[in-house]
């Protein structure tokens, strides 16, 4: 009788079990890495918005800061900048004001102060994970001071820890 070549059922089951154990170890680390990358992207987005607001108030001194986050973006391609479409940030970021349109797992709430004499003198900006615990854990906050703050869970405020 000729000996058959190949793997036995027991050998295949052992290999599958080893692969499952490796996957059980690797997947949580992958998810944590993705959340950390999303949080870094959110901080970068807040910095970009802060920088764009400084440019906006320099370019349009009679307006002060922008009235909406969308005003910092523009119509592609940005040919002529205006107070309604300043072409200072990417449209993906300018339109990330809701969980459905978030950027890299975060969405942003921009709140300008009431205009005094047609000029906006301050603003606040928060970044929240689209799905807390999945796309990100920390909430972020900044205002016209440029200091970015975070809260370990929930919404960050002016009283939260600075980064």
pLDDT tens string 54-82: 999 999 999 999 999 999 998 777 878 88
Given pLDDT bands bounded at 50, 70 and 90, which one contains residue 162? confident
Given pLDDT bands bounded at 50, 70 and 90, which one contains residue 158? confident
Tell me what pLDDT residue 138 has: 93
CA distance 31 to 8: 35
CA angle 6, 9, 14 (to 5 degrees): 105
Which of the pair, 34 or 7, is modelled with greater confidence? 34
| Tokens 């797992």 found at | 105
Tell me what pLDDT residue 1 has: 61
Which of the pair, 75 or 40, is modelled with greater confidence? 40
Residue 109 makes CB contacts below 8 A (sequence gap 6+) with 97, 125, 126, 128
Given pLDDT bands bounded at 50, 70 and 90, which one contains residue 163? confident
Element (H, E) at 68: none
pLDDT tens string 114-144: 999 999 999 999 999 999 889 999 999 999 9
Task: Tell me the pLDDT of the chain averaged across its residues.
Answer: 91
Which residue spans within 14-132 are E strands per DSSP? 106-112, 123-129
């Amino acid at each position: 009788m000729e000996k058959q070549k190949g793997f036995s059922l027991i050998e295949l089951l052992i290999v599958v079990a080893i692969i499952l154990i490796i996957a059980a170890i690797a997947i949580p680390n992958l998810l944590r890495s993705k959340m950390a990358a999303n949080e870094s992207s959110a901080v970068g987005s807040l910095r970009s918005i802060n920088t764009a607001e400084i440019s906006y108030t320099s370019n349009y001194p009679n307006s002060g800061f922008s009235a909406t986050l969308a005003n910092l973006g523009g119509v592609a391609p940005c040919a002529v900048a205006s107070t309604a479409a300043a072409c200072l940030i990417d449209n993906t970021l300018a339109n990330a004001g809701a969980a459905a349109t978030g950027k890299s797992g975060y969405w942003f709430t921009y709140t300008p102060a009431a205009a005094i004499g047609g000029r906006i003198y301050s603003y606040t900006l928060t970044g929240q994970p689209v799905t807390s615990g999945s796309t990100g854990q920390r909430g972020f906050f900044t205002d016209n001071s440029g200091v970015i703050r975070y809260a370990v869970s929930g919404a960050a405020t002016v009283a939260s820890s600075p980064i």
